[in-house]
Structure 1
Amino acid sequence: MLKKVYMQPTKKIIASLIGVSLLFIACTKDFQGLNVTPGEPTTTTIPPLTNGVIKTLFLKGQEQAAIHNEWYYPATQLGGLSGSSGYLIENGAQDVWNDYYGALQNLKLIQDMINAYSGDKTEMDNVQAITYILRAYKTFRVTDQFGDMPFSEAGRAYTGNTASYRPKYDAQQLIYDSLLTNLAWAAQHINTNANPTTAAGKPYVAIGTGDTFFGGKMDQWLSLCNSLRLRYAIQMVEKDPATATPIIKDVISNNLPVITEGNDVGMWPEKMGGWILNDSRFWAFSSHRFERVSTTVWNLMADGTTDASIFDPRAWLFAETNQAGKWAPYKVGSGVVDNANPYQQNRDADVTDKNGSLYSSFNWYLVRDLYYQPELFMTASEVHFLKAEAYARGLGVGKDATQAQAEYIAGIKSSVNFWYNIAHNTNVTNDNWAAVAPATPTDAQLNTLLANPKVAFTADDAANLKKIYAQEWLSFYREPWLAFNLWRRTGQTPRDGEPAAYTGFSRLTYPASESVNNTDNYNHQVAAMGGDARTTKVWWMK
């Protein structure tokens, strides 16, 4: 049954992604020959290459189980581990590394085609912008986890030049500078007209059905571009204010298009032709089994462990009671063991069967669905919190407590509404969340949330900033890599003690394959870092 329900949809979506793209041929004047492999295509075009990159935006299984569930959740205290799964973080790191450098080859091959385009280069502006945005999103995610990494010389093995097989490592700051420069270009050159043409009347080249992410809607690419600029400028502002501050000012003061409510960005099955996500999310929980709702999260949503003590309506969506029907959050680092697996597939038949769990687990419906819930990249809620921080601290804009509070409240409401929209639209054959989810919170319920002393703004600017970080951290409940970034950047996200196992955890170590396949450059990098350790801080860390 497991293979029938999960494995076939996984193959279905991958086949659909590749199949759709291969049927669409554009930019026929410019194509790239590939090294010949018997039985494989020898040429390709931009649409299928772009689609190939988009396909890699799906989270990988080991990435979620071994990195997110085993490390990022407990390290940030967004979740608690009631036991050790035995998954190796190194396996997840290898997953991320391999996935990235495979995608980077596609991106650099696309860039070669853009550079070789024989027409007016303006015709390629939208294609160039999409390439820059995809490369930035992928690269930021990886460099934030590892730090310095091969970038400028990497991803060119397809050229056949042996010098490209062992690329040097680039400093993270230089990688950031390159990506932000590219994003600035994209923001300035994206043409959002329905049928854009150059000054000479030539139509822009379009990726067409190769854009399985936004379906060619350049206004959405522009909003993602500016939102990413804001995110990473704020992430680096402590280390390089001269570069970051003008970017923050540009996005906020000029009111540039950013992600707004209802346009949250991710791999949405419904928005991508009804495709079914692969089973990595459910597998990461069902095979891992030890993930529990942390006391740190719970205490930000409730003042006790009774229904009446809950003041944040997201509690009903993020968590579920234990087998005894009690709210029982787990204290990170307590060492108490709960070996029950509340994420077993048999709950499809009986959702109340939590396998005797002692502690509250992540809501079953939150981790089970493959048909509606997205794999998130960036939300309107996050954008509001970034703006709130900018106003609270005076980053790129004048310090303004009133505007900070307005963005803060908007961020909270956006997060609440986002998750209730998910719950009310997740309706699959076995697990119909829409049928059992609570009603959308009323204004009175939202006011209760906003008035709680743990949430409400006061006259204390420092306390208000910590509340902005706390609510942003909570909004990352299913984006633990972003919570990890926020924790490392600020050191001010909610904590319930400091579990020794995660003290000093600052980065992923390089995959073992690097020491074998890129030995000289790896050794040089490790020597410069003083060792390839998890405790080594990435460039922008506090």
Structure 2
Amino acid sequence: MNSSKRIFAYILAGTFFASSCTKDFQELNTTHDKPTSTTVQPLVNQVISTLFLRGQEQASIHNDYYYVATQLGATTSVSGYVLSNGVNDIWNDYYSTLQNLNLGIDKTNEVDDKETMNNIKAVLYILRAYKTFRVTDQFGDIPYFNAGKAYAGNVANFRVGYDPQQQIYDSLLNDLSWAVNNINTNADAVSSGGNPYIVLGSFDTFFKGDMSKWLEFGNSLRLRYAMQMVEKDQAKATPVIQDALTKPLIADGEDVGMWPASLGGYDLWVRWWSFSSGGAGFVRMSSTMWNMVSDGTTDESIFDPRAKLFVEPNQAGKWAPYVIGKSSGDNVNAYFSGTDPSQKNDCLFSPFNWYLVRDEWYLPEVIFAASEVHFLKAEAYARGLGAAQNINDAQTEYKAGITSSVNFWYNMVKGANNVSGLTWASAAPPPPTSAQMDALFANKKVAFTGAAADAVTKIYAQEWLSYFRQPWLAYNLWRRTGNTPVDPNSAPSATYKTFYRLPYAQDEAVNNADNYNAQISKMGGNNSDIKVWWMK
């Protein structure tokens, strides 16, 4: 069996667990001595397979709301997608996956020598934390502590209450701390009882069994989410930030994501679909983003090398930013052609780069870029969070973050081969020279002035820009800080200015009615203008 077929066999094996009924899970639980390679390992791989973004999530939430609310992008018209469909994508994926995560963790506790399962348990804790943080960040309070446990057969776990986001954060950060402190990176790890550690082997299609990578990912998540809650609970967040800064973090060249090429040529077809189908081709370059990469509307005015990788000229060959709430027209799908990037349906405003959204086979879905680590460290040093305040150290990490982001995208260009023999490398500009990078760092919109407040604002701006294809993280940063770039000429509607959370899935009102009604009564409704716990 070749590698591609073997990977999908593993994913299908895990999918069996995702779709099996309670009876099947109970049968799995009848083995009380120790898990075998046909239980925990396929469960882990099935969870990994759910890390891909969903199509409706991207089309109806990212394109229609997150890009516009953060002003990282703009839309010339509302697409034909329905917000609730994207919500269902996220909600249903999470709760079906949570069962497998909890079941896998249960299985790690069933062996006599529990230490032998430490690495697998750590992986499950990290995956559960990543999945749960993403969901609670978007919705706020969610069912968590008693959710995803229907496999145990206890009817009390079929419909469970909503847990406060603050308690979920505390629990997940504790889990990540346990994972980071208990991962054994030795290739032939042995427990204190003399037994070899159980390994995931080829079922780890994420890091290929490299536990040092899992450690870095888990610790980087600690840094990300401790910083996420620092505005609301600095007393708890600061020690986590301090500890995370002393342990391994994702380094340059180790960007974490779902890489199609490493999965036997996996086809991320929903990426193109989410931009090209159903009118979602209304996404355009925002004036806010353009102001952060250019000082005008000519090629010569562009000072950020990422500009031509993120966006492109309109059909007339002009750089034409869309001012949110002020510009009008261009009610066309700029991505109607799947084979010819020069055909933009006569669009008036600059669209996202055709190659960036068209590639399904090489460009990864980024989960945690090394540039983000640099920006988080820069913020910690600029604000004195978990480390002594030091503007020079902040500037060093800030410039490293920008450099890491630029290098990441130009390295992606080299390998992207989209369709019909069209390669991005032949259409994109060459990698920036040292002189071009110096000009970027010297531009007044980028350069530090020496003042701490200015440093923090600049850090947020560049972190925001680095999230161009991770709009959910730009959305988090916008909500947490209230200090991401804004074009003063823009006039977003109230819908976007107060889009603070996703509404709960509509099925909750039917399938979990009592708990759902209690939750929305506590919140004052199921509206998008209700702030999540960690917001200011």
Fold conserved between structures, TM > 0.5: yes
What are the within-5 Å matches in structure 2 for residues 28-427 of structure 1? Answer: 35-36=23-24, 45-117=39-111, 119-252=112-245, 254=246, 256-272=247-263, 274-287=264-277, 288-334=280-326, 336-344=328-336, 346-348=337-339, 350-427=340-417
Work out the CA distance in 1 between the residues paired with 2:107 and 2:191.
19
- In the TM superposition, what is the alpha-carbon distance from 1:351 to its structure 2 partner? 2.2
What are the within-5 Å matches in structure 2 for residues 452-463 of structure 1? Answer: 452-463=443-454
Work out the CA distance in 1 between the residues paired with 2:269 and 2:8.
18
- Closer, same or farther in 2 for the Cα pair 1:341/1:195, shift >3 Å? same
Aligned residue for 1:169, secondary structure, equals coil
- In the TM superposition, what is the alpha-carbon distance from 1:157 to its structure 2 partner? 1.6
CA contact (8 A) 1:33 1:42 kept: no
Of the candidates 486, 493, 510, which is equivalent to residue 495 of structure 1?
Answer: 486
- Closer, same or farther in 2 for the Cα pair 1:177/1:433, shift >3 Å? same
CA contact (8 A) 1:17 1:51 kept: no
- In the TM superposition, what is the alpha-carbon distance from 1:90 to its structure 2 partner? 1.3
Alignment: residue pair count: 515
- Closer, same or farther in 2 for the Cα pair 1:320/1:209, shift >3 Å? same
Does 1:432 pair with 2:420?
A: no
CA contact (8 A) 2:22 2:150 kept: no
Work out the CA distance in 2 between the residues paired with 1:96 and 1:517.
17
CA contact (8 A) 1:18 1:52 kept: no
- Closer, same or farther in 2 for the Cα pair 1:17/1:159, shift >3 Å? farther
| Structure 1 letter corresponding to 2:23 | N
Work out the CA distance in 1 between the residues paired with 2:455 and 2:357.
32
Work out the CA distance in 1 between the residues paired with 2:130 and 2:383.
26
- In the TM superposition, what is the alpha-carbon distance from 1:33 to its structure 2 partner? 10
Aligned residue for 1:266, secondary structure, equals strand
Aligned residue for 1:149, secondary structure, equals coil
| Structure 1 letter corresponding to 2:411 | N
CA deviations 1:51-91 (Å, max 9, x no partner) are 11111111001000000000000000110000111311111
Does 1:514 pair with 2:504?
A: no
CA contact (8 A) 2:43 2:100 kept: yes
CA contact (8 A) 1:347 1:354 kept: no
- In the TM superposition, what is the alpha-carbon distance from 1:221 to its structure 2 partner? 0.3
- In the TM superposition, what is the alpha-carbon distance from 1:436 to its structure 2 partner? 2.1
CA contact (8 A) 2:341 2:355 kept: no
- In the TM superposition, what is the alpha-carbon distance from 1:207 to its structure 2 partner? 1.2
- In the TM superposition, what is the alpha-carbon distance from 1:440 to its structure 2 partner? 1.1
- In the TM superposition, what is the alpha-carbon distance from 1:429 to its structure 2 partner? 4.5
Work out the CA distance in 1 between the residues paired with 2:464 and 2:418.
29
Aligned residue for 1:376, secondary structure, equals strand
Work out the CA distance in 2 between the residues paired with 1:417 and 1:481.
22
Of the candidates 466, 481, 497, which is equivalent to residue 457 of structure 2?
Answer: 466
CA deviations 1:395-424 (Å, max 9, x no partner) are 011100000000000000000000000111
Where does residue 536 of structure 1 map in the other structure?
A: 530
- In the TM superposition, what is the alpha-carbon distance from 1:329 to its structure 2 partner? 1.1
Where does residue 476 of structure 1 map in the other structure?
A: 467
- In the TM superposition, what is the alpha-carbon distance from 1:161 to its structure 2 partner? 2.1
CA contact (8 A) 2:338 2:358 kept: no
CA contact (8 A) 2:55 2:271 kept: yes
Aligned residue for 2:366, secondary structure, equals strand
- In the TM superposition, what is the alpha-carbon distance from 1:459 to its structure 2 partner? 2.5
- Closer, same or farther in 2 for the Cα pair 1:209/1:242, shift >3 Å? same
Of the candidates 510, 521, 531, which is equivalent to residue 527 of structure 1?
Answer: 521
Aligned residue for 2:406, secondary structure, equals helix
Identity %: 57
Work out the CA distance in 2 between the residues paired with 1:16 and 1:474.
38
- In the TM superposition, what is the alpha-carbon distance from 1:234 to its structure 2 partner? 0.6
CA deviations 1:304-330 (Å, max 9, x no partner) are 010000000101101111100111111
Q: Which runs of 5+ in 2 are unaligned?
A: 15-19, 32-37
CA contact (8 A) 1:34 1:42 kept: no
- In the TM superposition, what is the alpha-carbon distance from 1:505 to its structure 2 partner? 1.0
CA deviations 1:421-477 (Å, max 9, x no partner) are 011111245231122221111110000000000000002221221110000000000
Work out the CA distance in 2 between the residues paired with 1:23 and 1:35.
17
| Structure 2 letter corresponding to 1:120 | D
Aligned residue for 1:445, secondary structure, equals helix
Work out the CA distance in 2 between the residues paired with 1:245 and 1:461.
18
Relative to structure 2, which stretch is displaced further, 258-267 or 419-428? 419-428
